[in-house]
Amino acid sequence: MKNQIPTGPGLYKIKCLVNQKYYCGEAENLLGRLGAHLYRLRNKNHDYSELQKDWEAYGPDAFIFEVVLHGPKYAKRADRCKIEAQLMYEQPDFCYNFSSTRKNVGTIINKFESHIVPFGFGLYKITCSANQKHYYGESDNLLYRLGTHFSALNKGKSEINEMQKDWSVYGSSAFIFEIISHGSKYEDKAYRIQVQYQLINQEPGLCYNSVGNIEKIYVAGTQILKRERATQKQLKASDIQFPVVINDISYVSLNQIEKDFALSRKTIKKRLLAQNKETNLVWTEKRALLPHRGSEQSNKIINPKIQIYGNAYASVIEASKALKLSRTTIYNKLNDLKNKDFVYLDNKPERKFYTFTIDGIFYSSIKEVVDHFKLNPATIYRRCQSDRPLFKNWICHKPDKLQNF
């Protein structure tokens, strides 16, 4: 039996058939919202504890999910909330929404054209009424899955490109969301996929899913995964033909390249494959070489800043990667005038300090402010940037504005 599912904005109810209690709500995306309710009830963490208790006591077969009102005229949330309040007061003693306090909200709506929505395990169909094309899918949470389809299509982000194009051309009103079959017999995912494949192959020419067969199907989502896996497979080291020559130096393994260039293996593979396995790859134009200690390479570093053990490096970070030393260790040795193995090639960069004026008193460094107010530096900087009147006299002066003092 097929069930056409209302989509878009509207109002809904979750009813317990055993005690006739109900929960009502509003949503911009009915399917997604009902799916979220089902997910929380299944995982025993629903916000409404009484509804959760009854779900656990009576089981999912005792509940129905019902769309009460739906359509474009319920696009405004304020209008939906008014009707939601009216629904709550139809039978306040049987409404899960209520806490201990209640207030009268006015006229009660007595008649609604409702749609009972199947939930749980099963298969669904999305049809474009303009061209009769359709998409088949399976899920263990039908409401939530259809909701994600609707949301993605509405935002123009659906992975099913052809269906997304038709949605953009014909609009949401041209699409019908249906639940084809549902129930406990569809709990097995393998069985659901088997039925899905059979449905796809019934009318392959009118199906948004890619055409395949029962043994080997290529549905849209699977194609995307296969493309990603194919891209990852291209990065295998076995696809690189060694030896390779980089900057006139021959390498027979990724380990050698990794040591000399201080690059990740993934980056090295990408660069090698991007060059179509050319025999002479010049990387110094893209990134400075990072020779490891004891390397015999003689290539010059672009804009070298420091020299360690006779080798030039463009920055402390690059030296840290190449030498396997922490940046703190390198900085300490660079600042040690007695250590001739670690030297700045240019003049040591001049360190600039922030100054402060707080309540009319000048402080020449952050340390003075910390010592005086017993605050951590982050708090001090935050107060200086604050717009609150309490801290209007907390001023931080940047180094390039020191000429005022």
Instruction: Give domain limits for the chain.
Output: 3-186, 355-404
**Predicted pLDDT of residue 376:** 86
**CB-neighbour burial class of residue 114 (10 A; exposed 0-12, middle 13-18, buried 19+):** middle
pLDDT of residue 255: 79
Asked whether the whole model's pTM tops 0.95, one would answer no
In 293-395, where does DSSP find H-type helix? Answer: 316-323, 327-335, 366-373, 377-385
CATH number of the domain located at residue range(s) 3-186 in this protein: 3.40.1440.10
Among residues 5, 211, 31, 8, which one has the least CA distance to residue 127?
Answer: 5
In a structure prediction context, what are the per-residue pLDDT tens digits for the chain, which is 405 residues long? 455 667 788 889 899 999 889 898 898 888 888 888 888 888 888 888 888 999 999 988 889 888 888 888 888 888 888 888 788 877 878 888 875 333 333 333 333 444 556 667 888 889 998 898 989 999 888 877 888 888 888 888 888 888 998 998 998 888 888 888 888 888 888 888 888 888 888 877 888 886 443 333 444 445 445 555 565 555 555 567 777 777 777 787 787 787 777 777 777 877 777 655 444 454 543 333 333 333 333 344 444 578 888 888 878 888 888 888 888 888 888 888 788 888 887 655 555 678 899 988 899 888 889 888 888 888 888 888 888 777 888 999 877 544 333
**Two tokens, residue 175:** 């699409």
Distance, CA of 27 to CA of 90 (rounded, Å): 19
* pLDDT of the residue at 116: 58
Contacts of 162 (CB under 8 A, 6+ apart): 133, 208
The b-or-e profile of 3-35 (16+ CB within 10 A means b, else e) is bebbbbbbbbbbbbeeeebbbbbbbebbbbbbb
- Tokens 């039908």 belong to residue: 142
**Cβ neighbours of 391 (radius 10 Å):** 15
Q: What is the pLDDT of residue 58?
A: 92
1's tokens: 């039996």
- SS3 at position 371: helix
Question: What is the model's pLDDT at position 304?
Answer: 55
